[in-house]
Structure 1
Amino acid sequence: MDLRQLRFFLEVARAENFTRAAEKLHLAQPALSIAIRKLEEELEVALFNRRDRKITLTAEGEALARHARIIEQQVSEARQELDELRGLLRGEVRLGLSPMLSSFFFPQIVALFKRRYPALQLSINGDSARNIQRKIASGALDMGVIAGTVPEGLDSHLLVRDEVVACVHRSHPLAARKKAPLRELLAEPLIHFTEGYHLRELIEERAARDGITPAVVAESNLFSLARSLVREELGLAFFPRMVVAHDTGMAAISCDQPLFLDLAIAWKKNAALSRANREFVDFVIQEVDDYYLLAQAAGTFPLP
């Protein structure tokens, strides 16, 4: 039993509903259910009564909740005291994010970090991976989440490797396919990201290797616009699987020779990170690890 499990348990107890608790925790409901079931198996007791879609604490659950609330309060007080000792009541984090990540997953991370350290200033710059790398190197940004190979001059920590999938409207003839050759996928009208975005470079490199010339019908640096154009049946677009996993308006198709995208958080090599920046890096790494462990347990994002 760990603090994360207790946090999940208390949120379900407060909400008396797995779906509402999952929304508050920014988790998929199946992942939260699995986490609670594992906690019950570990403790060898039922913590919740599940009858007629109503969730209430069992006697054992009430006992655990009393202790968990005390632990939660003590952990909060300990963090506050340690934060003050480490000087985290002042400072700034200047972060670079791609537009795609700005709309998926990272808003929750930023919000959680800000709630833990309300006095810290967060400045978020949306740009392509190439421009983020340049800004880190020049000192305009403290760190950023970048895709692909980390250039010389930056240190980094790999956050996740995710599959790149082709996405089409649900009514598209390819929508029923789980997998297709890249040549067949790129025969469709392509909604492309603008130059400087690693996802575009990844597709173009593979296409050039296979002697394919994509038929580009639209270009954008906005993930939300590219996704909307797919939904409007303008064409096909490539996205990381994680950002479309729960999108019921599109179908995701794997390439027969899978494509993968590496996402890493990077900062300037040989430059000492401030306490605020180091805390943010550690926080992001832990949150992403927790998210993917739960997602993989629920079968949402299988390991590549």
Structure 2
Amino acid sequence: MELKPLRYFYEVARLGSFTRAAELLNLAQPAVSMAIRKLENELELTLFHRHERSIALTDEGKCLFAQAEKILQVVADAELEMQELKGLSRGEVRVGIPSMLGSFHFPPILMAFRHRYPNLTFSVQEGGTWQLQQMLEKGELDLAVIESETISDILEARTILREEMRATVSREHLFAERSSITLQEFFTEELVMFKPGYFHRKVLDRLAKEVGCTPNISFETNLVPLIRSIVKQGFGISTLLNMAVADDPDLVTVSFAPPIFLDLCIAWRKDGYLSRANRAFVEFLLESSRM
């Protein structure tokens, strides 16, 4: 089995379209279709159910797709390793960072790393920790910052940041004068929450279940500036890390009783090849976390 038609098959299956796969591969659609037909003839199997306006994997196609994903990732890792053995002078760090950390914690770290390694380039993906972990496991990212509770068995991780999760309220809110509040008190308030998939939301959903509360969610958004604005105007309360509100005198953070801490980690695939550029970034993060 040749690698090229396997790559074509993988992209068609992943995107669910011959047209979109051809555009991604910068090929004419008939060339992609012909390669897939040739692969099916070679395997003596039908890989796709072809309908007038859609396609779907057959059972045999689903099996091949799972194997193709692994094969193509191994090949990509091998190509990268061989490039580095030839003395590659430039490299790329592909890292996923949750939005709150991407806005408030990581900019100075990224700039300091760039200053130390000016020949390296960055590709930063922002999103929820669940989305980032899925991209990491599929090989779409080399590194991702995720919450320690979500780390799967196929990932290696190191803690880079420990932060307290605190209730965030307006300065006029009754909780603003409190030294701490209970989870039960928090969950009875109108809440401004991150959407499912973000580490704050995942932790809070778990905590609500543990204390037997149903969160009173009024707003859901992943935009930190919007959360801050809604809370400041008194339309709800939320939870943000101190770094996200330290510059705003109209917002107050209050500890939970007992305090809740989040351990945030830099993670990568155990079976993946971590390039020299990515290893340098991991070491830089660990070094920064010890300062």
Query: Following TM superposition, by how much is the alpha carbon of 1:242 offset from its aligned partner in structure 2, in angstroms?
Result: 3.9
Superposition pairs for residues 20-35 of structure 1, below 5 Å?
Answer: none
Look up the match of 2:97. Answer: 97
Moved more, 269-278 or 167-176: 269-278
Paired amino acid for 2:116: R
Superposition pairs for residues 67-82 of structure 1, below 5 Å?
Answer: none
Superposition pairs for residues 200-239 of structure 1, below 5 Å?
Answer: 200-239=201-240
Q: Is the 8 A contact 1:89 1:117 kept in 2?
A: no
Superposition pairs for residues 77-156 of structure 1, below 5 Å?
Answer: 89-149=89-149, 150-156=151-157
CA distance in structure 2 between the aligned counterparts of 1:239 and 1:200, rounded to whole angstroms? 11
Paired amino acid for 2:145: V
Query: Following TM superposition, by how much is the alpha carbon of 1:246 offset from its aligned partner in structure 2, in angstroms?
Result: 4.5
Do the aligned partners of residues 224 and 148 (structure 1) sit closer, same or farther apart at CA in structure 2, a change above 3 Å counting? farther
Look up the match of 2:268. Answer: 267
Do residues 283 (structure 1) and 284 (structure 2) align?
yes
Look up the match of 1:172. Answer: 173
Q: Any unmatched runs of 5+ in structure 2? A: 1-85
User: Could you tell me the percent identity over the aligned residues?
Assistant: 39
Query: Following TM superposition, by how much is the alpha carbon of 1:289 offset from its aligned partner in structure 2, in angstroms?
Result: 2.1
Per-residue CA distance 1:88-140 (angstroms, 9 max, x = gap): 74011001011111101201111111122222110000011011111111111
Per-residue CA distance 1:47-102 (angstroms, 9 max, x = gap): xxxxxxxxxxxxxxxxxxxxxxxxxxxxxxxxxxxxxxx95740110010111111
CA distance in structure 1 between the aligned counterparts of 2:221 and 2:193, rounded to whole angstroms? 7
Per-residue CA distance 1:240-292 (angstroms, 9 max, x = gap): 234334532211111112222110000111323111110011111112221xx
Look up the match of 1:186. Answer: 187
Do residues 197 (structure 1) and 178 (structure 2) align?
no
CA distance in structure 1 between the aligned counterparts of 2:105 and 2:141, rounded to whole angstroms? 20
Q: Any unmatched runs of 5+ in structure 1? A: 1-85, 291-304
Query: Following TM superposition, by how much is the alpha carbon of 1:159 offset from its aligned partner in structure 2, in angstroms?
Result: 1.0
Per-residue CA distance 1:220-249 (angstroms, 9 max, x = gap): 112222122212221100122343345322
Give TM-score scaled by structure 1 length. Answer: 0.64
Give TM-score scaled by structure 2 length. Answer: 0.67
Do residues 160 (structure 1) and 161 (structure 2) align?
yes
> Aligned residues, how many?
206
Q: Is the 8 A contact 1:189 1:234 kept in 2?
A: yes
Look up the match of 1:253. Answer: 254
CA distance in structure 2 between the aligned counterparts of 1:139 and 1:251, rounded to whole angstroms? 40
Q: Is the 8 A contact 2:96 2:144 kept in 1?
A: yes
Do the aligned partners of residues 88 and 262 (structure 1) sit closer, same or farther apart at CA in structure 2, a change above 3 Å counting? farther
Is the radius of gyration larger for structure 1 or structure 2? Answer: 2
Q: Secondary structure at the match of 1:186?
A: helix
RMSD of aligned alpha carbons: 1.8
Moved more, 112-121 or 129-138: 112-121
Moved more, 228-237 or 91-100: 228-237
Q: Is the 8 A contact 1:88 1:117 kept in 2?
A: no
